[in-house]
Amino acid sequence: MTTIARDRTAAQIEIAGGIDTHQDTHTAAVVDSTGRPLAARQFPAKATGYRQLLTWLHGFGIILVVGIEGTGAYGAGLARHLASEGISMVEVDRPDRKARRFAGKSDPLDAQAAARAALAGVRTGHPKTRDGQVEALRNLRVARRSAVDQRADCLRRIKTLVVTAPETLREKLRSLPDSRLLATCAAFRPDISQASDPTQATRIALRSLARRHADLTTEITDLDALIEPVVKKTNPRLLDLNGVGPDVAGQLLVTAGQNSDRLRSEAAFAMLCGVAPIPASSGKTHRHRLNRGGDRQANAAIYRIVLCRMRWDPRTRAYVKRRTSEGLSKKDIIRCLKRLIAREIYYVLRTPTPTTDPTIAA
């Protein structure tokens, strides 16, 4: 077949692409509209590789959809490139374990599975866009989260050292509250030349950890000062909700993504946050079980909203009182509140922020 005839035939074929992403390479596969594999090829995970991959896909026909595994990690760059070229794409889950046991495991097989999943619309979702204010917010929150974890670890290690410290030092520090303990340890003046002595070594270690804790606190404060204006600029109405501060709002915005319209319904958002009860009925038994999936950080953010409202919000307190009289436990009431609050947050996230630019308003 001549090149012209082959190109003419390819232009009439509808195909779907699937991509298995890795750190250095991406493996792409093409299937036709019936799911039959046509070809597979590996490309470098860089800008030139993205262009080569898209050109290669176009050579097989009309691209219906491209399924990518890992758009939030190794596939982020490729997803941005395909979005800029107007290619319809979805994020697919990794292949089913049972299918892998029977069919084997390789990059081309995973790419074919991604293409078929995208074509069938099974276990797929619209990927987040990675080029807006929410992406900037996510990056700032990554640094903040790391600093918070390290600061908590510093305090744990200080308390562990106090437990095993020499008796004179332990008696001095064991009963101090956290703030005084940190201040006392940071003010130590140990003899560096006697680092081989257990007492002096303990004082050196305690001072180092306490000062690191103070530095991390300063870093967190600086990041908070950057995060709050970004949250207000992205969705100020979120901060107007009872119990929602910059930290909680930032997590919810990151979970929803810049393109929050990808969330089909408030039930889908509740499932994303892990607050939607899972049906577990069989025969005459009708019940639901706790949802342990979803974004656990978003789940924790909604949980903090619930705790705040249970203490300070009159409507929530009245709801808790009514549900308690109906026989629900505190855990069950919290689960109900998390589901209701997820519904409220969803509509705030989906509501466009009103612009203050007079030219755009006109």
Copy the structure tokens of residue 183: 């201040």
Query: How many whole angstroms separate alpha carbon 174 and alpha carbon 192?
Result: 23
pLDDT at 102 over 80: no
Res 354 pLDDT > 70: no
Tens digits of per-residue pLDDT, 156-202? Answer: 999 999 999 999 899 999 899 999 999 999 999 998 888 888 999 99
List the one residue out of 254, 253, 220 whose CA is nearest residue 239: 253
Whether 1 has a pLDDT exceeding 90, the answer reads no
Among 342, 253, 347, CA closest to 305: 342
Is pTM beyond 0.85 here? no
* pLDDT score of 100: 66
- List strands edge to edge, sheet with 25-32: 37-44, 25-32, 14-21, 62-69, 89-92, 124-125
How close are the terminal C-alpha atoms of the chain, in Å?
58
CA 141/CA 40 separation, integer angstroms: 38
